[in-house]
Chains A and B, each alone.
Chain A
Amino acid sequence: DTAVSQTPKYLVTQMGNDKSIKCEQNLGHDTMYWYKQDSKKFLKIMFSYNNKELIINETVPNRFSPKSPDKAHLNLHINSLELGDSAVYFCASNNGGWNSPLHFGNGTRLTVT
């Protein structure tokens, strides 16, 4: 299946831990994104990579570090997790340019206790 897939689907962890979320797309897109969706369903862009290069880095704590080993993968590592990091994190991809629709993964629900 052609898709954006992210793992894990659920992540429950304690404050202070470090965790990673992985994302892969097999759509041949050259741009990938991380979005955060809060409890009120508001979507906020965090990062964007184009062909492995960081092109958008929103005002996100530097505890969040994206890594793109190749243009089909974009991982998100989070250090020293805090309660406020609890949210659903979505990976997305497109062919670059904001007129190109985004293809989203199914999300990773992160719960920090």
Chain B
Amino acid sequence: AQSVTQLDSQVPVFEEAPVELRCNYSSSVSVYLFWYVQYPNQGLQLLLKYLSGSTLVKSINGFEAEFNKSQTSFHLRKPSVHISDTAEYFCAVSETSGSRLTFGEGTQLTVNP
């Protein structure tokens, strides 16, 4: 069965600074990878996903993540964050063979002025 580790539970940064939220997974087979974002008092929303093809995937609001098969990672990056990016970010993985989605424990990103 697969597992997901988000290496940082909290990441505080200043506005306009770059940020990286780290995600590593464990699986012996091919995977689908996702990043979800949860704003306060809301449900999770899909930020971006990797299913196949190009290993670099991007969201509409400037985030990107790169699937690295050799390092079994799917880190999320943004070159310049805004106050409005403050939220909880969840990495999730499922195996292409059909196993259920497994979420990481989340990373709280706090952007300070």
Q: A40 to chain B: which residues have CB within 8 Å?
A: 105
| CA distance in complex: A87, B44 (Å) | 15
Q: Is the CB of A42 within 8 A of B105?
A: yes
B42 at the interface (CB under 8 A from A): yes
Tell me the smallest distance from the CB of B89 to a CB of chain A, in Å: 10
Q: Is the CB of B43 within 8 A of A107?
A: yes
B46 at the interface (CB under 8 A from A): yes
Q: How many residue pairs, one in A and one in B, have C-beta atoms under 8 Å apart?
A: 52
Q: B98 to chain A: which residues have CB within 8 Å?
A: 97-98
- Knowing A42-B106, A43-B90, say if A98 contacts B101 (CB, 8 Å): yes
A69 at the interface (CB under 8 A from B): no
Tell me the smallest distance from the CB of A100 to a CB of chain B, in Å: 9
- Knowing A40-B105, A41-B88, say if A98 contacts B99 (CB, 8 Å): yes
Q: B105 to chain A: which residues have CB within 8 Å?
A: 40-42
| CA distance in complex: A102, B37 (Å) | 12
Q: Is the CB of A98 within 8 A of B43?
A: no
Interface centre among A97, A99, A104, A106, by most B CB within 10 Å? A99
Q: A107 to chain B: which residues have CB within 8 Å?
A: 41-43
- Knowing A40-B105, A41-B105, A42-B105, say if A99 contacts B96 (CB, 8 Å): yes
A8 at the interface (CB under 8 A from B): no
A4 at the interface (CB under 8 A from B): yes
B100 at the interface (CB under 8 A from A): yes
Which chain B residues have a beta carbon within 8 Å of chain A's beta carbons? 32, 34, 36, 38, 41-46, 49, 51, 88, 90, 94-96, 98-101, 103, 105-106, 108
New contact pairs (17) apart from A48-B100, A98-B94, CB-CB < 8 Å: A4-B43, A41-B88, A41-B105, A42-B105, A43-B44, A92-B43, A98-B98, A98-B100, A99-B32, A99-B51, A99-B96, A102-B46, A104-B43, A106-B41, A106-B43, A107-B41, A107-B43
